[in-house]
A and B are shown apart, each in its own frame.
Chain A
Amino acid sequence: MSGLLRQAGQWLNPPFLISLAMLAIVWEFAGRSADILTLPPLSAVLAAFVRLWSSGVLTAPLLDSTIALLTGLAISLFVGSAVGIAIGLSRVADVALGPFIKAGLSAPMIAFVPVFMMIFGIGSETRIATVIAFSIFVVATNAATAVRSTDPALLEMARSFGAGRWRILGEIRLPAGAPYFLAGLRLGVARGIKGLINGEVLIAIMGMGGLVKKYGTVFSMDQLYAVILLIVLYAAIWVGAVTLLGRLVLTERRK
């Protein structure tokens, strides 16, 4: 628990608070003084945020997006880990599937969203597919590294006590690879949220990305920025939570 507090405390340090305050001040004045129509002052954005939040307009899209995100991430974690573990353990799987994983890791996945729309239509499946496309490759890559990078001395030890291939996977490779799996999870969540919003903006009628599209097309700048603020916070909270979870798991094991 004290670990949790210490982690949270890292965000409340003076240098960060000062740069945050500076950003807020610059934003406020730039928004007020210049006649830049595209940048409302921060105070107006915050007011719009409070207004939207308390009216409940944000709640449904937030929940809706979250369900799609979790569905996509669950599939990514399950399939991505399985494929990654297979690649990490077997040369044949590595040769057969490795190149696709490498390509998928760097390919601009947003290009596939129109394809998903054609396949799945204008529905939740499309953004779930986008979440998966954005996150599955990084999960698989990390899973492969996780089971491949085991200390050979530990493998030898387990073998000398008669452990077979699967026993070694369960008892040695998977637990030893935990830091890599957690890194994959963290990156997968971050990329999955990118995929979610990307997909929703293109689909235009659902979730938080749908709100971005909606307020953007009518030039309701304060509400648009309020939603963007919500998305940034949403992503930061998710990634922060997963990072914390990872640290807790690893310190619990007291490496």
Chain B
Amino acid sequence: MNANATPAIAVQDVSKFFVSADGRRTRALDKVNLAVERGEFVSIIGPSGCGKTTMLKMVGGILDWDEGSISVMGAPVSGPGPERATVFQSFALLPWMTVLDNAAFGLKMRGETKAARHAKARNLLETVGLADFANAYPGELSGGMQQRVGLARALAVSPNVLLMDEPFSAIDAQTRLILQTELLDVWSQTDLSVLFITHAMDEAVFLSDRVVIMGARPGHVTDVIDIDLPRPRTEETRRDPRFVELTARVWDRLRGLMTDERAGAPS
């Protein structure tokens, strides 16, 4: 049993087609390959519409693909599973439930008793610094606090793999930097593997072990950049010349893709 040898997420030669309203098949993803090792933090960055969300949904098991294979923790994906949890761009909190019940939602879906799920959810609210807001409603919280609830909800189900689709893009720039550090704190205390989608290059570099760059039309992986910045990453990291250099390198690669897009052809 050497399950530890298999990556946390393995995407192999995956292609995806969408059928448009007029019946035309368009290729959204073309033979994508991607691996996230156990305990690794990987970001995907790429122009809008290149298929990042599509990828993440397929790994999450809520969207089918047409060719190739996807496995998580060594097992083929055939739907959502208890070893995966997702944090959403729009937070996706239930406005009629308290923060505590929101954080416990995933556990409820897994059939845990009220006492057990509340105990766990309380624990995680403490981890994300929201213990005092257990009985508040999402509408009473700031965006940053709401996403902390989203994170607590995902962590409460004790996943091995955390999927995050632009989780901080709806949050103001200052809070965002704080959430990045908090996320790394939480992650470093666990053996979580993270697949993180973002449009922010500094965010990708600051958080990740590797940054995967995707191009569009159809969606494909163009580059993988290793981020060899030391951990733990702190505010100092953001001023590290290496951080600046890596961010610039990501931008160089991305800019190439963006100009392709404008010209409509490779230049």
Contact = CB atoms under 8 A, between A and B. Distances in A.
B81 A156 contact: no
A165 interface: no
A159 B80 contact: yes
Interface string B151-178: 0000001000000000000000000000
Interface residues of B, number: 25
A159 B57 CA distance: 11
Interface in B225-246: none
Given A156-B62, A254-B140, A162 B80 contact: yes
Given A153-B88, A156-B88, A159-B62, A167 B109 contact: yes
B94 A172 contact: yes
Interface in B44-93: 57, 60-62, 80-82, 84-86, 88, 90, 92
A157 interface: yes
B84 to A, nearest CB: 8
A160 B86 contact: yes
Contacts of A158: 105, 109
A233 to B, nearest CB: 34
B109 A162 contact: yes
Contact of B96 (A151, A157, A159, A178): A178
A253 interface: yes
B133 interface: no
B139 interface: yes
B39 to A, nearest CB: 22
B94 A154 contact: yes
A153 B90 contact: yes
Contacts of A161: 80, 85, 105-106, 109-110, 157
B137 interface: yes
A162 B139 contact: no
B157 A160 contact: no
A171 B109 CA distance: 9
A50 B86 CA distance: 66
Contacts of B90: 153
B81 A175 contact: no
Contacts of A6: none
A152 to B, nearest CB: 10
B95 interface: yes
Interface in A155-186: 156-163, 167, 171-172, 175-176, 178
Nearest to A159: B62
B62 A253 contact: no
Contacts of A178: 96
Interface in A111-133: none
Contacts of B61: 160
Nearest to B157: A161
B80 A160 contact: yes
B62 A175 contact: no
Contact of A157 (B92, B95, B108, B139): B92
A167 B60 CA distance: 19
Nearest to B107: A161
Interface of B: 57, 60-62, 80-82, 84-86, 88, 90, 92, 94-96, 105-106, 108-110, 137, 139-140, 157
Interface of A: 151, 153-154, 156-163, 167, 171-172, 175-176, 178, 253-255
25 contacts: A151-B92, A156-B62, A156-B88, A156-B92, A157-B86, A158-B105, A158-B109, A159-B62, A159-B80, A160-B84, A160-B85, A160-B86, A161-B80, A161-B106, A161-B109, A161-B110, A162-B110, A163-B109, A171-B109, A253-B95, A253-B137, A254-B137, A254-B139, A255-B95, A255-B96
